[in-house]
Amino acid sequence: MDEKIKSVVILFLLLTGLAFATSPAAAATIEVNDETALKSAFLSAVSGDEIVLKNDITITTGGSINLKAYWSTAENVITVKSDSDAERTITGNADFKINLTNSNNNTKLVFENVVIDGNGKKGGIEIAGSHPLLNRPRNIKIDGAQIKNFNSSGFRIDFADNIFLINVTAENCTKTGTSVFDQGNGAGISISNSSAKIENSLIKDNIIKGYGNGSGVYAREATVEINGNTFIQNNTIISDGPNAGAGIYSIMGTLNISGNTTVLKNEMIRNSNEITLGGGV
């Protein structure tokens, strides 16, 4: 073969290979029908992928369902959805949490027709860094998650920045505090050492038993915005000690409530003569 033609062919092959290597992978549909497949899907999904629940899933082994680490300037969008218009449920027969750690950045996790039912176990959705200054999760959006019936905070955010909870539900979650040193803060949503925004969400029927504050939303050393059509209602503290804010409690931080946010029928029930303050906020 003529050397000039050979050079052109080689150059063409190199450029073609480079194009394939740099092109993003096509979005995939990952079908899951049990706990093992669900955990594997979360660990392998890349931006644009859809994790499709083919049936209701029961969590029996438990532990963390870890989303694949992602750190980029572009938004990484993962969707978890039912295989039909009917809801699919992920139910806990063991403690379990959906976990976004300090390895996640610029990630949007979308839930469509999926209910996460703790069934009285501990867990929920956790967005948490491991250090107050280093490797904090940033720019995380949780959209459409329905969390209920956990014996812990439905959503826990700690050492994280610019976190959005959009169209989420935190319902009928319970925390128990045994003393002022072991408080059950934030049954619905707990936010500490972070910045977060809650939009168009429903936080209802959450309960703190004993010592604790903020049955609906608890914020400590945090900047929190609550806006849109957010409803915080029927959250209760059944008190054995000093408590405050059955609906919302914020301390050593900034709280901004705007839009059509409604704080309604949140209640403090006193079992002792200790101080209780602020059924709503």
Question: pLDDT digit string (tens) for 220-266?
Answer: 999 999 999 999 999 998 876 666 678 899 999 999 999 888 887 78
Residue 14 lies in a domain: no
Question: pLDDT digit string (tens) for 156-183?
Answer: 999 999 999 999 999 999 999 888 778 8
Residue 211 pLDDT level (bands cut at 50, 70, 90): confident
> According to the model, what pLDDT value does residue 243 have?
66
Domain of residue 238, residue span = 27-277
Residue 139 lies in a domain: yes
> According to the model, what pLDDT value does residue 167 have?
99
> According to the model, what pLDDT value does residue 244 have?
65
In the predicted structure, residue 199 carries a pLDDT above the cut 70: yes
Residue 118 lies in a domain: yes
In the predicted structure, residue 268 carries a pLDDT above the cut 70: no
Residue 27 pLDDT level (bands cut at 50, 70, 90): confident
Residue 17 lies in a domain: no
Residue 5 lies in a domain: no
Residue 13 lies in a domain: no
The one-letter amino acid code at 139 reads N
Question: pLDDT digit string (tens) for 60-80?
Answer: 999 999 999 887 889 999 999
Distances (CA, A) of 159 to 97, 108, 220, 222: 17, 18, 11, 9
pTM: 0.87
Beta bridge partners of 237: 208, 268
> According to the model, what pLDDT value does residue 210 have?
86
In the predicted structure, residue 45 carries a pLDDT above the cut 60: yes
Q: Across all residues in the chain, what is the average pLDDT?
A: 87
More confident residue, 237 or 9: 237
More confident residue, 35 or 129: 35
More confident residue, 134 or 120: 120
Run of H or E residues at 3: helix 3-22
Distances (CA, A) of 194 to 3, 132, 187, 222: 63, 9, 17, 5
Residue 13 pLDDT level (bands cut at 50, 70, 90): very low
Residue 11 lies in a domain: no
In the predicted structure, residue 280 carries a pLDDT above the cut 70: no
Dist. CA 156–CA 124, nearest whole Å:
8
Q: Which parts of 23-121 fold into alpha helices (H)?
A: 35-44
Q: Which two tokens stand for residue 173?
A: 């979650």
CA angle 184, 187, 191 (to 5 degrees): 90
Residue 146 pLDDT level (bands cut at 50, 70, 90): very high
State the total domains in the chain: 1
More confident residue, 242 or 86: 86
Residue 135 lies in a domain: yes
